[in-house]
Structure 1
């Protein structure tokens, strides 16, 4: 029954999906962490919006623009991460199916030996798509970070502008 496959072909056919499953699982774990970070950032932004609405923060208009922009970025990031997760789970499923299909094909008939390969290739396509979404999402993360830097610089400039005025008032 197994004469058409060498031991090395069977072994590599079973190991390759396992390695790809492990790679997908690693990406799923890191992507889930990224989603958690987005959640944390949105909660911090929400707290800042609440303080802004209560009038507890200075520079209302500048902060409103900043917060609106930052929340929009986080929303886009969350959608990209969710899509990446869906593709990663699909890739993992396809790699598992590929491994199972190989075992079934070896037991049934060699004429269907192309099926596990096609399924594994399809899993590779989903893994590529997920990676592409993660790459795209990382650009939004950079945009978020640059926004954080911009508001920090703005607030720093305001402190420097106000400081000489306050020092001047004390000397009078």
Structure 2
């Protein structure tokens, strides 16, 4: 049945995608945490807007401009995170398919051994795209942090004027 491949070759061919599945799982976990942090930040911004609307905060105009900008950044980050997670889930599926189709094609359809390779390469491309989106999202996070620092410095300057 497996005349042209040794058991170790088959096993190593199936393990490589499993290692990539593990890498995707780690990225999915950390990306889900990032999405949770975005949710927490949006809730904090919502609370700040409510305090502004109740008249419990000073610098109403400046704070509203700041809040709108921050909410816009968080919205963009959430979209990027969601897209990257979709690519990570797709990559995971493709790596699992690659591993399974390797065993099946070697056992039953030796003429189709290109299928697991195509699945693994496509999974690698999805993993790359997810990583690129996460890199891009991290730039938005930096924008959020920098704007928060700038607004804090503004408040500090205004307090010193009083």
| TM-score normalised to structure 2 length | 0.98
Q: CA RMSD in A?
A: 0.8
Q: How far does the alpha carbon of each residue in 1:26-64 deviate from its partner, in whole angstroms, 9 at most, with x for none?
A: 000000000000000000000000011111100111101
Measure how far apart 1:4 and its partner are. Answer: 1.0
Q: State the match for 2:99 in structure 1.
A: 99
CA distance in 2, matches of 1:109, 1:79: 41
Aligned to 2:23: 23
Count of aligned residue pairs for this structure pair: 162
Q: Mark the runs of 5 or more structure 1 residues left unpaired by the alignment.
A: 163-172
Q: How far is 1:107 from its partner?
A: 1.3
Match of 1:140 in 2: 140
Retained in 2: the 8 A contact 1:94–1:122? yes
| Equivalent position of 2:160 in the other structure | 160
1:6 shift after superposition = 2.8
Q: Which has more radius of gyration?
A: 1
The answer to whether structure 1 residue 115 and structure 2 residue 115 are counterparts is yes
Deviates more, 1:50-59 or 1:103-112: 103-112
Q: Secondary structure at the match of 1:11?
A: helix
Q: TM-score of the superposition, structure 1-length normalised? A: 0.92
Helix, strand or coil for the counterpart of 1:2? coil
> Where has structure 1 moved over 2 Å in runs of 4 or more?
6-9
Question: Are the counterparts in 2 of residues 4 and 110 from structure 1 also a CA contact under 8 Å?
Answer: no
Q: C-alpha separation between the residues in 1 aligned to 2:9 and 2:113?
A: 11
